[in-house]
Amino acid sequence: MIPNSTAARDVAYLLHPYTNLSAHRESGPLVISRGKGIHVYDEEGREYIEGLAGLWCAGLGFDQERLVEAASRQMRQLPFYHAFGGKVPDVLVDLAEALMAIAPKPLERALFVNSGSEANDLAVKIAWYVNNALGRPEKKKIIARRKAYHGVTVMSGSLTGLAYAQDGFDLPVSRVVHVDTPHHYHGAEPDESEEDYATRLAEQLEATIQAEGPETVAAFIAEPVMGAGGVIVPPRTYFEKVQAVLRRHDVLFIADEVICGFGRTGNWFGCDTFGIRPDIMTVAKQLSAGFLPIAATLVSGPVYEALVAGSDKHGMFGHGNTYGGHPVAAAVALETLKIYHEMDIVGRVRRVGTALQEGLRRYIDHPLVGEVRGLGLIAGVELVADKASRTNFDKARGIGAGLVRRAQAHGLLTRAMPGDLIGFCPPMIIDEAGVAEMLRRFDVALEESWSALR
């Protein structure tokens, strides 16, 4: 590394999230200096398609003058205010109203925070608070799924079902129970239909709730499509059957829409795509197109009424963050939602998403590819060592990571997830030509990886 370069100073001063720290000391960072449309540029000016919209968040790409203007207007008018103690910045009310206009039923109200992790933490606190208010203090366990990604705080990191987010941190904490990942490709028996597999998973959920004691289970949390666990689309009828089990045992459904929200799956929310009626829902990322940190936890009418009862008992609803619902972030989110409406984001994702899904499904016959999955503008290609037995490569070989490095060299940034799953979640402004170019770059990397293995 050149002394005093950005890379050298990065190694000297930064502690990197989700990074192998000793490898990073040797390799240094990829320094990104600017962005435009679906592209970002490194400090040498090399252009990359951002195939994962950064961290699944930059839904409108990397330059949007209207968002810049919304932020600077708000900064001039009211750069900080909060919603504690019954006050409120006016723009936050506008945002809450705009969010409720598109939120799935029966959600009614939102509390704003700064990140998806905080929103999920709050969702759990709300489930606990509600059950205390309803006089059932034992009903506190949360059921999550293996391979789920719900964040990194002590509780959201416990809900996450991925070893890499828990190893060394003494997570998960108690009160969290994990059930199976709903992944037909690996989880189903030979010849088991998606519907039968979904029935079996719902029965397993039922058995878990019975074993734990229904009077101890507060909530079930799920991403409609699992993102960081490997873009896992649930089998047909899964959520319908899961919701029937939850209703029987009075268990709340927390929908984590941090990735799926705001058009990504070809509807406003993943809940719409899968017929989920959540009691609590969390949103972040594309809420502000990633331009500023803002997230929210939404609650249904009955959950809200229980919160009111709890607040009467305790004297207040005792939760809030200094920067939760920050007016500048709220102004940017409000403008983001306006842009989504104007560009008909749902229609656009359906149209361009078809090009992405059809384009990727062409690889299903490739000798390295086991499964291609996804919907709307989120997709994944899973690499396997043996197609017939659906066996993955030994993790230590880093086959997926190698492909991602090659893709980077060809101007495509994406990510390898557990099980050598290559993820695609481009900015939703991408068009058919952008998809074609992204797939061309992926194609070159895939062929290079395949040649290296032969």
If the CB atoms of residues 222 and 369 are measured against ligand PLP, the closer one turns out to be 222
- Which residues make up the interface to ligand PLP (CB under 6 A)? 55-56, 115-117, 120, 149-151, 223, 227-228, 256, 258-259, 284
Q: Give kind and range of the element (H or E) at residue 246.
A: helix 238-248
Under 8 Å between Cβ of 412 and 49: yes
Q: 139 vs 150, which CB is nearer to ligand PLP?
A: 150
* CB distance 283 to 261 below 8 Å: yes
Q: Find the shortest distance in angstroms from Cβ 159 to ligand PLP.
A: 9
The nearer residue to ligand PLP, 268 or 393, going by C-beta atoms, is 268
Residue 296 vs 368, nearer CB to ligand PLP: 296
DSSP 111-133: EEESSHHHHHHHHHHHHHHHHHH
Least Å distance, CB 260 to ligand PLP, is: 8
For residue 178, the minimal CB distance to ligand PLP (Å) is 15
Cβ-based nearer residue to ligand PLP, 56 or 291: 56
Shortest reach from residue 253's CB to ligand PLP, in Å: 15
Residue nearest to ligand PLP (CB): 116
φ and ψ at residue 224, rounded to 5 degrees: -55, -50
Q: For residues 294 and 368, which CB has a smaller minimum distance to ligand PLP in the complex?
A: 294
* Distances in whole angstroms, Cα of residue 128 to Cα of each of 275, 360, 418, 438: 25, 43, 32, 44
Q: Is the C-alpha dihedral spanning 440, 442, 443, 448 positive or negative? A: positive
Output 307-311 pairs: Cβ under 8 A, ≥24 positions apart: 307/126, 307/129, 307/130, 307/133, 309/133, 309/134, 310/129, 310/130, 310/132, 310/133
CB of 103 to ligand PLP, least distance (A): 17
> For residue 420, what is the DSSP state?
T
Contact 142, 159 (CB under 8 A): yes
> Please, what is the minimum distance in Å from the beta carbon of residue 189 to ligand PLP?
28
How big is the chain, counted in residues?
454
Q: Residue 145 CB, nearest distance to ligand PLP (Å)? A: 11
Cβ pair 131, 139 in contact under 8 A? yes
DSSP label at 232? B
* Cβ closest to ligand PLP, residue 150 vs residue 183: 150
